[in-house]
A and B are shown apart, each in its own frame.
Chain A
Amino acid sequence: MDTVVLLAITGLGLAALYFLVASGLSLIFGLMGVLNFAHGAFLTIGAYGTWWASDHLPGAGSTGWGFVSAVAFGVAVGTLVAALIELALIRPLYERHIEQVLVTVGLSLALVALVRAVWGADPHPFPRPEWTQRTTSVLGANVPNDRFLLIGSALVVLVAVLAFLRFTRFGLIIRAGVENRAMVTALGIDVRKAFTLVFAIGGAFAALAGALGGIYLGSISPGQGTSLLIFAFIVVVIGGMSSITGAAVAAVLVGLVQQFANYYAASGVGDLSVVLLLAVVLLTRPSGLTARVA
Chain B
Amino acid sequence: MRTGGLNGTALRRLLPLVVFVVLAVLPYSTLQLPGLFDGVLNSPGTLQLLALCLIFGGVALSYDLLFGFTGLLSFGHALYFAAGTYVANLALTELGWGLAPALALTTVVGIVLPLLVGGVALRVSGIAFSMVTLATAQVGSIIVLQDPGGLTGGEEGLALDRDQVPDAFVGVLNTVNVYWLAVAYLVLVYAVVSWVTGSRAGRVWQAIRENERRVEVLGLQPYGFKLLVFVLAGLLAALGGVVHLLLLGGSTPRTTTADFTLGLLVMVVLGGAGSRWGAVLGGVLYTYLDSRLTDLANSPAVQDLPAWLRIPLSEPLFLLGTLFILVVFFVPGGIAGLVCRLRERRAGRRSGDGGPTPGRVVEQLRDQVGAGMGGGQPRDGV
Contact = CB atoms under 8 A, between A and B. Distances in A.
A230 B370 contact: no
Interface residues of A, number: 51
B289 interface: no
Contact of B266 (A93, A105, A118, A291): A105
B357 interface: no
B258 A230 contact: yes
A286 B143 CA distance: 27
A117 B314 contact: yes
Contact of A103 (B146, B328, B375): B328
Interface string A6-45: 0000000000000000000000011001010100000000
B266 A106 contact: yes
B311 A117 contact: yes
Nearest to B377: A182
Contacts, number: 148
Contacts of A226: 258-259
Interface in B261-307: 262, 265-266, 269
A14 to B, nearest CB: 16
Interface residues of B, number: 49
Contacts of B135: 230, 233-234, 275, 278-279
Given A230-B258, A275-B136, A282-B132, A241 B374 contact: yes
Contacts of A237: 127-128, 131
A232 to B, nearest CB: 11
Given A117-B315, A275-B139, A106 B374 contact: no
A207 B316 CA distance: 25
A111 B315 CA distance: 11
B20 interface: no
A114 to B, nearest CB: 5
Given A33-B375, A107-B321, A117-B314, A272 B328 contact: no
Contacts of B324: 102, 105-106, 109-110
A103 B328 CA distance: 7
B248 interface: no
Interface in A79-119: 89, 92-93, 95-99, 101-103, 105-114, 116-118
Interface of B is mostly: helix
A272 B139 contact: yes
Given A106-B328, A242-B375, 8 more contacts: A99-B366, A101-B369, A102-B324, A105-B265, A109-B318, A110-B324, A117-B318, A230-B135
20 contacts: A29-B127, A89-B325, A106-B325, A107-B321, A109-B259, A111-B321, A113-B316, A113-B321, A117-B315, A178-B375, A230-B138, A230-B258, A237-B128, A268-B146, A275-B138, A279-B135, A283-B120, A286-B123, A286-B124, A287-B373
Which 7 A-B pairs have CB atoms at the shortest separation, nearest pair first? Answer: A110-B321, A109-B321, A113-B317, A113-B318, A106-B324, A106-B325, A117-B315
Interface of A: 29-30, 33, 35, 37, 89, 92-93, 95-99, 101-103, 105-114, 116-118, 178, 226, 230, 233-234, 237, 240-242, 267-268, 271-272, 275, 278-279, 282-283, 286-288, 291
